[in-house]
Every structure is written in C-alpha cells, then in structure tokens.
Copies of this chain bind each other. A is one copy, B any other.
Amino acid sequence: MPRWEPNPRERLERAAITLFAEQGYDATTVDEIAASAGLARSAFFRHFRDKRGVLFGGEDPMPARLADGIRNAPPEHTALQAVETAFAGIADVWFSAESRDLAPLRFSVIAASDELRERELLKRHGITEEVQKALSERGIGDPAATVAASLATLAFARTVAVWGRPGETEEFTAILSRVLGELHTAARELP
C-alpha cells in the first residue's frame, strides 16, 4: 500500500492506461478499470463518460486556453512567438512532471488502435483551427495564419512525442521552442 494515494480520477486514469497497454484497449472493460483502481464502477462514470474519455476527455479546454494565450501574447510578438508564448502558458497544467511518467504508456496505447489514432488526429485538427482563429484575431492575414497554425500543430505533435519518450528529461517548453524554430527554418528555406 503506497503512503500517498492519488485522487480517484488519477487512479482511474493510471489503472486504465496500464490495462490498455497490457491487454489492449478493445479488450479492457470499465469494470476492470474500476476494480484495478480499487473503486466502484459508479466512481468511473463520475469522472469519465466512457472508456475513451480516459484518453480523450470530451471537454478538454486545452485548445481554448492555447488560443487565449495567443490572443493575449504581447502585440509585438510575431505569429510564431505568440504561439510559443501560448504553449509555455499551458505546459505547467497539461504537460506537468507528474503526468510525464504515464506519457510513454499513453502513446503506445494510442498508437496500437486505429480508433484512438483517429481521435488523436481529429483533436490535433481542433487545435489547428483554434490557433488559426486566434492568429487571425491578431491581424495575421490569410493564408499566413493557416500556415502558422499548421506549423504550430506540427510543432506540438513533435514536442509531445519527444517529451513523452521514456527517459527524456528536457522541459516541454524547451523542446517546443527548439522544434518550432526548426519548422520555421524549414518553412523559410523549403528545398
């Protein structure tokens, strides 16, 4: 019995992702997740709508927070500087040190399921749309806002993949800054 017990939501999340990784996403039931977390089935449904909700919370406010960060970035920031500032603003909550140890398992679960990979891609598209709108509101024209938003989402996906690598210790914001810079250079100097 560990001295410190995480809250029920976190226990359910850890139990679910561990079971998904061990026996497959499709083969895992809500009852098994609840039992493995030492909680009742009803506790699961207090925190998540369904099994998929553990990996993709229906109302993840991250894209909206990110867009707020872009809107509120200093006016003198370029498009990609505003994107970088906004990511720095959400990193503490969405990419905390505590959630990092589960990340490799989470990624392997998503990679193993067509359904979950599709969810991930659609979620990413939602981020692109939010970023594009926020950049437009900063006065970035078309198609520059669309191109910048695509680079932002590419940078995000690459950063998350690096950040969640087993044993990786570089900070989320440091990875993001480097990756975004590389993508910007690539865009400027397309061969």
Majority-rule SS of A interface residues: helix
Determine which of B80, B122, B147 lies in contact with A186 in the assembled complex, contact meaning CB atoms within 8 Å: B147
Q: A187 at interface (Cβ–Cβ under 8 A)?
A: yes
Q: A154 at interface (Cβ–Cβ under 8 A)?
A: yes
Closest-by-CB residue of B relative to A158 is B143
- Name the distance in Å between A76's Cβ and chain B's nearest Cβ: 12
> Considering only CB atoms and an 8 Å cut-off, how many residues of chain A contact the other chain?
27
Could you tell me the distance between the alpha carbons of A78 and B147 in the complex, rounded to whole angstroms?
19
Tell me which residues across on chain B come within 8 A of A190, comparing CB atoms.
78-80, 144, 147-148, 151, 184, 187-188
Determine which of B118, B141, B188 lies in contact with A187 in the assembled complex, contact meaning CB atoms within 8 Å: B188
Closest-by-CB residue of B relative to A126 is B121
Interface residues of A in 130-184 (CB under 8 A from B): 140-141, 143-144, 146-148, 150-151, 154, 158, 182-184
Q: A125 at interface (Cβ–Cβ under 8 A)?
A: yes
Tell me which residues across on chain B come within 8 A of A79, comparing CB atoms.
190-191
**CB <8 Å contact, A140 and B191:** yes
> Which residue among A122, A143, A146, A183 has the maximum number of chain B CB atoms within 10 Å of its CB?
A143
Could you tell me the distance between the alpha carbons of A140 and B118 in the complex, rounded to whole angstroms?
27
Determine which of B118, B121, B146, B187 lies in contact with A147 in the assembled complex, contact meaning CB atoms within 8 Å: B187
Tell me which residues across on chain B come within 8 A of A118, comparing CB atoms.
118, 122
Tell me which residues across on chain B come within 8 A of A147, comparing CB atoms.
151, 154, 183, 186-187, 190
Interface residues of A in 109-135 (CB under 8 A from B): 118, 121-122, 125
- Name 18 interchain pairs, CB-CB below 8 A, sorted by A: A79-B190, A80-B190, A118-B122, A121-B121, A141-B191, A143-B154, A143-B158, A143-B183, A144-B189, A144-B190, A144-B191, A146-B154, A146-B183, A147-B151, A147-B154, A147-B187, A147-B190, A150-B154
